[in-house]
Structure 1
Amino acid sequence: MMNLMMMIFFTFLLSCLLFTIKYNHILVTLMSLEIIMMSLMLMIYLQLLIMNMNYFLIYYLMMIVCEGILGLTLLILYIHYKGIDKINMLNLNLW
Structure 2
Amino acid sequence: MTNMMNMILMLFFISCMLFTILYKHLLMTLMSLEIIMMTLLLYMYMYMLLIKFEYFILFFLVMIVCEGILGLTLLILFIRFKGSDKLKLMNLMLW
TM-score, normalised via structure 2 length: 0.96
Structure 2 CA distance for aligned equivalents of residues 68 and 94 of structure 1: 26
Q: What is the root-mean-square deviation of aligned Cα atoms in Å?
A: 0.9
Q: CA deviation at 1:91?
A: 2.1
Structure 1 CA distance for aligned equivalents of residues 89 and 40 of structure 2: 31
Q: CA deviation at 1:88?
A: 1.1
1:21 and 2:25 are equivalent in the alignment: no
Give the aligned residue type for 2:69. I
**Corresponding residue of 2:38:** 38
**Corresponding residue of 1:69:** 69
* Runs (5+) with no aligned partner, structure 2: none
Give the aligned residue type for 1:24. K
SS of corresponding position for 1:93:
helix
Structure 2 CA distance for aligned equivalents of residues 88 and 5 of structure 1: 36
Identity within the alignment, %: 59
Structure 1 CA distance for aligned equivalents of residues 23 and 60 of structure 2: 25
Moved over 3 A (4+): none
Structure 1 CA distance for aligned equivalents of residues 65 and 75 of structure 2: 15
Structure 1 CA distance for aligned equivalents of residues 12 and 42 of structure 2: 10
* Runs (5+) with no aligned partner, structure 1: none
Paired positions, count: 95
Q: What do the CA deviations read for 1:36-77 (whole angstroms, capped 9, x no partner)?
A: 000001000001011111000000000000000000000001
